[in-house]
Chain A
Amino acid sequence: MAYRLCYYTRMPESQNTTASTRSREEEEAARPGERQALWFCAYTPLELLDAAGFRPRRLSGAVERLEEADVLLHPATCPFVRACLVQGMEEIPRGPAVFVNSCDAMRRLHDAWKDMVGRGGGAGGRGGEGGGGAHMMDMPRRPGPWAERRLAQEILRLAEELERDGGLAVTPQSLKEAAALRMEVAKRCLQWGEGLAGSSRMRLAEAAQTLPPRLFLEGPPAGLAEGRGVPLLLTGNLLNPRGLVEVIEEAGGWVKTADLCNGDRPFLDLEEVDGETLEEAALSLARRYLNRRGCARMDDARQREARLLRMARECGARGVIYASLKFCDPYLYEWPRVEALLRSEGLPVLRLDSDYQDGHAGQLSTRVEAFLEMLRQGRRRA
C-alpha cells in the first residue's frame, strides 16, 4: 500500500479541529491491531520503539482547544505540551506514551498525562493488551562519557518497560537494524528535501517521523513543491507545520533549512549504531542522540552557535528567523546570545513568538513581510 501525504491547507477556524488538521498518516496509523507508541519530544529514541515492535506516533496536539489543558497545566506552559494533553484527554490513546525528561514542560506533560490520561510505566505499569503506560526517559544535557552511560542506562530501562507494556524483547540485532533504517530515513529525508519549499520540507520531516521507516523509504511523497523566494534559515523549537512556515512562504521567503525539532534538525549529524551486546548497542544509540544536533536545552551553547552560523552560510541564507513557541525557556534564555552573534556576523535576524495555533497569522505576516523587504532592500543597496 502506497502512503501519500495529504496537502495541508490552513482550515477556516470552525473546521480547524484535531481530526481535520491531522495528517493522513496519523489517521492511517490508527489501524486496528497495530501497537502504537505515542511520543512528543524529538529526543525520543524512535529506533527503540521500532525495535520493540511499536509504531511510533507523534502527537501534534489539539491546537485549537488549548484552554482545556488549564485543568492541570498552568496557562504559562508550552502550548505544544498543553495541546498534547488536550488531545490525550480527548482520545485516551491505548498505546504506551513515551516522554523524555528534556525540559520543565515535558515533565509537566508527563505528570498531567499520568493523572488524566494513562498510568505510569515502570513499577506501576500493568502492561499487556491495551496497556497505556506513561514512560519517562532521562535525557542528559551535557554530552560526554558520563552522559552516554546515563542515557544508555535509560534506554535499557525503557526497553524493559516497553516489553512489559506489550512490546517485543529488544535484541542487539533488532536495535541495530532499526537504527540503520532510521539512519537511512534521515539521509533520504535530507536528500529529498534539497531545493524544496520550507513547508514541503516540514511535510517530509513529518512523514519521516510518522511513517514506518520502510514505507517512508518507498519514495518521496507526492505534492511537494519547489522552493523560491528570499533564502532563509528558520531556527527554533517545534512549530505548527501549517502555521508560520506557510506565512513565510506567502510573504516571499524560502525556508531553505528548518532547524526545528519537527524540521530538519533530528536528521542531522547522526552516528552509526553498533555493538555486539544490547548494552553496547544502547551505548552507541545514546551517543547518536547526545552527539547529533541538539536543541537549546543542550549544554553546548558554543557548539550550537557555531553550527547555526555554519548552517546559515551553507544554505545561503540572507537572513535568519528565530521562532519559538511561547514559554519555551531554553529558547528564551538563548536568544540574546544568538541575536548578538548573528548581528556580529552581519546576518539579519527576526525573532518571532508562536502560540502554536498561529491564529494571529496577519500579525506574523506583517512582521515577516517587513523583514523580507528589509533583506531585499539590503541586497539592492549592496
Chain B
Amino acid sequence: MNWMASLKERFMDRLSPATLRSPLLWSTAEGLARSPLNRPAWRADAVALRYFLRQTKRAYRGGDPVVWANLLFPSELIHAAGAVPFYPEMAAAVAASLELAPRFLDAAAHAGFSPDTCSFHRAILGAWSEGYMPAPACLASTDYLCDSAPLSFRYVAGEIGVPLLLLEIPFRGDDAALALLEEGLEETALRLAEACGVTWHAYLRGLGEAVELSEEARKRLLEVEELRLRHPLLLDGRDALGHLSVLASSFGHPDAVSFYGELAAELRERGERGEGREDSDGVKKLLWMHLKPYYPHRLFEHLQEHGGRIVCEEYNRCYWGEMDPRRPFRSLARKLTGHFGVGEGARRARVMRELALRHRVDGAVHFNHWGCRQSAGGAALVRRELLREGIPVLLLEGDCIDSREYQEGQAATRLEAFLESL
C-alpha cells in the first residue's frame, strides 16, 4: 500500500477542515512518506513528495502567508516572498484522487455554480465553501491558460476581501508587449510582497535567488528531456504526467533543482544499465495531451494492455529560454509569453506537432476535459495539425475531476480501438 492509500485509510472517514490543520495528520503523513515501505518508482518522486508535504503542511498549519496561484502564475514570484505557494487546481486533483471531489462538486452546485463550468474550479469552490482550503493572504492568477482561474479566484477574493493579483499576458510576445508585461510583473510582485508583509528590498533579493534557482532547475529539466528522447521507454508518461505539479509550483525553490537533478541522474543510470530496451518490441509510442483523470480509473492499464506507452506529454516541457537573475522581470515575462498556450491556438498545435515528431510517436491522445474551453476547445485544431503529419489522434471525452462524468467502459473501448488501429 502506498503512503497515500495508508493516509486515506487512517483519516478519510473522519476528515474535516480541522483534521487538515491537526499536527497528527501531518506527522503521520511525513512518517508514512519516510517509511521504507513507501517505495516511489523514481528517487525524484520522494523529493517531490517531501516538497509538497512540507508546503501543504505550511499552508494548513498557518504561520506563513499563503498565496493561491493558478498553474501558469510564476512560482518564482511567490518563493521570492518566502510565502507558501498553494495551487488550488492541484488540490482539486488530490481531492479527486481521494474520491472527495463529488462531495465538493455537490457543494459548489449548492452554492449556485453551473455544471457547465470546469470541474477543477467547481471542486475548488466547493472545497473552499466547506472550509477545506487554507486561507490566502492573496490570490494570484494569470489570464491564461483559461478564464476559469481568474474568475473562480475573483469569487473567493471577493468573498473574503483579500487582493486578487491578476497578471495579464499579451496575446503576442513582441517587444512592446513584453516591456509592458515586465511592468505588470513588477507591479504584481510589489502587491504580492505587500500582501505577504515583505519589504521590497528583501523581496528583490529573494527574487534574484529564486530566478537563479529556477534557471538551475531549467537546465536539469532540459537534461531530463534529452534523456527521455534517448531512452523513450524508461520513464512512463503516466508517471510523468504528475510532474506538471513540480513544473508549475516549485521553480524558484531548491527542491525543483533537486527533483530534476535526481531524475536526470536516475534516467542516465538506468539508461546505461539498458533498462527500458527489453520491452520495446511492438510498443505504440504516444503523445498525451492535456491532463488525465485524477480519480481511480483503469485507463492506463487498458493502454498498457494494448501495447500503448506514453513517451511525451503536452505540459511536461521546458517552453522558455535562459533566465537572468539580474533581470528577473524580463526573464519571467519571456517565460510567460513563451508558453505555447498563450496566443493563437495554431501555436499550441504547432508545438504539439513538433513534440510528436521529435519523439516519433505512433499516435496521440487528447483527453478532452469537459468544460475546458482552452484545451478541449482547441483540440480539433491540434488534431488537424497532427493529422497533416499522418499522426492519428484520439479525442477522448471525459472529466479529470468528476468520476461521475467518466464512463470507463466507453473510454476503454475507444482507446483500445484506437491502439488497434495504429
Contact = CB atoms under 8 A, between A and B. Distances in A.
Chains A and B form a bound pair: yes
Interface of A: 70-74, 76-77, 101, 103-105, 107-108, 110-112, 114-115, 120, 122, 136, 138, 140-142, 146-147, 149-150, 153, 297, 299, 301-302, 326-327, 329-330, 332-337, 339
Interface string B369-383: 011011011111100
Which secondary structure dominates chain B's binding surface?
Answer: helix
B373 A77 contact: yes
A138 B380 contact: no
Nearest to A99: B171
A115 B117 contact: no
Nearest to B383: A72
Contacts of B381: 72, 111-112, 115
Given A103-B147, A136-B171, A146-B180, A329 B373 contact: yes
Nearest to A78: B373
B116 interface: yes
B384 interface: yes
Contacts of A77: 373, 377
B112 interface: yes
Interface of B: 111-114, 116-118, 121, 143, 146-148, 150-152, 154-155, 158-159, 164, 166, 168, 170-172, 176-177, 180, 183-184, 187, 344-346, 368, 370-371, 373-374, 376-381, 384
A115 B371 contact: no
B4 to A, nearest CB: 31
B21 to A, nearest CB: 26
B113 A299 contact: no
Contacts of B370: 76
B346 A111 contact: yes
A153 B344 contact: no
Contacts of B151: 329-330, 333-334
A141 B370 CA distance: 25
Nearest to B118: A329
B171 A332 contact: no
Contacts of A73: 377, 380
A147 B370 CA distance: 32
Contacts of A104: 146-147, 373-374, 377
A182 B154 CA distance: 33
Given A301-B158, A329-B117, A71 B148 contact: no
Given A77-B377, A108-B345, A330-B151, 5 more contacts: A76-B116, A329-B117, A332-B113, A334-B155, A336-B113
Nearest to A156: B176
Contacts of B154: 299, 301, 333
B378 A111 contact: yes
Contact of B345 (A107, A332, A334, A339): A107
Nearest to B143: A141
29 contacts: A72-B381, A74-B368, A74-B373, A74-B376, A74-B377, A74-B380, A77-B377, A104-B374, A105-B377, A108-B345, A108-B373, A111-B378, A111-B381, A115-B384, A138-B172, A138-B177, A149-B180, A150-B168, A150-B177, A150-B180, A153-B177, A299-B150, A299-B166, A329-B146, A329-B148, A329-B373, A334-B155, A335-B113, A337-B155
A342 B274 CA distance: 67
**Most chain-A CB neighbours within 10 Å: which of B143, B147, B148?**
B147
A181 B251 CA distance: 52
A123 to B, nearest CB: 10
A101 to B, nearest CB: 5
Contacts of B379: 74
Contact of B117 (A72, A103, A332): A332
Nearest to B111: A336
Nearest to B371: A76
B178 to A, nearest CB: 11
A74 B147 CA distance: 16
Nearest to B110: A336
B346 A332 contact: no
Given A146-B183, A333-B148, A101 B171 contact: yes
6 tightest A-B contacts by CB?
A: A111-B345, A104-B373, A336-B112, A333-B151, A108-B377, A332-B114
Nearest to A76: B371
A147 B380 CA distance: 33
Contacts of A330: 147, 151
A333 B180 contact: no
A142 B168 contact: yes
**Most chain-B CB neighbours within 10 Å: which of A110, A142, A334?**
A142
A332 B113 CA distance: 7
A115 B146 CA distance: 21
B380 A71 contact: yes
A153 B346 contact: no
Nearest to B375: A74
**Most chain-B CB neighbours within 10 Å: which of A73, A122, A327, A336?**
A336
Contacts of B121: 333
A335 B345 contact: no
B214 to A, nearest CB: 25
B168 A141 contact: yes
Contacts of B376: 74, 76
B112 A335 contact: yes
Contacts of A302: 158
A337 B158 contact: yes
**Most chain-B CB neighbours within 10 Å: which of A73, A74, A339?**
A74
A138 B170 contact: yes
Nearest to A108: B377
Contacts of A336: 111-113, 155
Nearest to B397: A74
A111 B379 CA distance: 11
B155 A72 contact: no
A333 B113 contact: yes
Contact of A297 (B114, B117, B147, B373): B147
Contacts of A107: 345
A326 B158 CA distance: 24
A147 B152 CA distance: 21
Given A136-B171, A141-B166, A337-B155, A114 B344 contact: yes
**Most chain-A CB neighbours within 10 Å: which of B151, B180, B376, B379?**
B151
A114 B346 contact: yes
Contact of A299 (B117, B146, B164, B377): B164
A246 to B, nearest CB: 25
A146 to B, nearest CB: 6
A142 B167 CA distance: 10
Contacts of B168: 140-142, 147, 150
